[in-house]
């Protein structure tokens, strides 16, 4: 399968063979971590841009008393803070939710790639803008959506993001995170998450078995969750459509 970073960026910009090869060259596996490990901690000096190649990770903030807020979920193909080099120290932590394979990309490599391939730089800008748009949707969920809408919206988003990098199978996808993780992301207790999952199952909107999520009728879950996928910008038709 193609490098997930390449597959993701091609949702924004049509890449040539040379551009794909350049991305694949710098996005090679360099680090493997188990579940529940920190990639980089709040307060650390950021040295690399981390790209998730396999597994699921997250951005989070933790209060002094141990309470944690998951701010975003990273899937294969996602760059964890491509602009991180402007920071003198991290103001949040990156951690794994499952076993993860990462590519660590240096500042020099990112800058040289952007200078040599302007359209790759444009694709990276799109990736950052979509990340910001996704963060806005999460804020709306936390502030305004009901629990069923909140969780259903997350399922719709993650399914489309996985589909964009070729990691869905018809109506199903891997879903390896726990109810506690969902609670930390959605601002709900584990008990409330469990009850909400039962409601979504009872309505026939989802099936969760083991580590697999099935959405039998995506349109029905989309309507129930007030989900508009426009913020993911996967429908974009690049003006430059050079073929390989």
pLDDT digits (tens, 9 = 90+) for 166-177: 999 999 999 999
What is the dihedral sign for C-alpha 170, 176, 180, 184?
negative
Residue 60: CB atoms within 10 A of its CB come to 21
Structure tokens at 201: 């199952």
pLDDT at 1: 61
Residue 76 makes CB contacts below 8 A (sequence gap 6+) with: 4, 52, 53, 54, 55, 165, 167
Residue 242 makes CB contacts below 8 A (sequence gap 6+) with: 14, 16
Q: How confident is the model at residue 89 (pLDDT cuts 50, 70, 90)?
A: confident
Q: Cβ distance 152 to 205 under 8 Å?
A: yes
Q: In what order do the strands lie in the sheet with 93-96?
A: 38-40, 93-96, 57-62, 68-74
Residue 130 makes CB contacts below 8 A (sequence gap 6+) with: 12, 231, 232, 233
Q: The pTM is what? A: 0.93
- Is pLDDT at 47 greater than 70 in this prediction? yes
Q: Cβ distance 51 to 25 under 8 Å?
A: no
pLDDT at 244: 40
């Amino acid at each position: 399968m193609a490098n997930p970073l390449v597959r993701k960026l091609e949702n924004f910009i049509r890449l040539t063979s040379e551009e794909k090869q350049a991305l694949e060259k710098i996005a090679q596996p360099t680090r493997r971590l188990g579940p529940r490990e920190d990639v980089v901690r709040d307060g650390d000096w950021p040295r690399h841009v981390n790209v998730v190649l396999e597994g699921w990770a997250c951005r989070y903030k933790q209060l002094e008393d141990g309470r944690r807020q998951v701010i975003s979920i990273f899937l294969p193909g996602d760059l964890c803070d491509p602009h991180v080099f402007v920071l003198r120290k991290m103001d949040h932590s990156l951690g794994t939710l499952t076993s993860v394979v990462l590519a660590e990309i240096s500042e020099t490599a990112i800058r040289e790639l952007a200078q040599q391939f302007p359209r790759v730089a444009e694709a990276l800008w799109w990736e950052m803008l979509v990340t910001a748009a996704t963060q806005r949707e999460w804020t709306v969920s936390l502030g305004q959506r009901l629990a069923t809408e909140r969780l259903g919206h997350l399922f719709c988003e993650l399914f489309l993001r996985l589909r964009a990098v070729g990691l869905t199978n018809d109506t199903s996808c891997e879903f390896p995170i726990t109810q506690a993780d969902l609670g930390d992301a959605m601002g709900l207790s584990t008990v409330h998450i469990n009850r909400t999952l039962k409601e979504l199952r009872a309505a026939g909107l989802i099936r969760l078995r083991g580590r697999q999520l099935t959405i039998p009728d995506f349109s029905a879950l989309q309507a129930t969750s007030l989900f508009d996928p426009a913020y993911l910008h996967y429908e974009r038709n690049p003006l430059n459509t050079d073929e390989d």
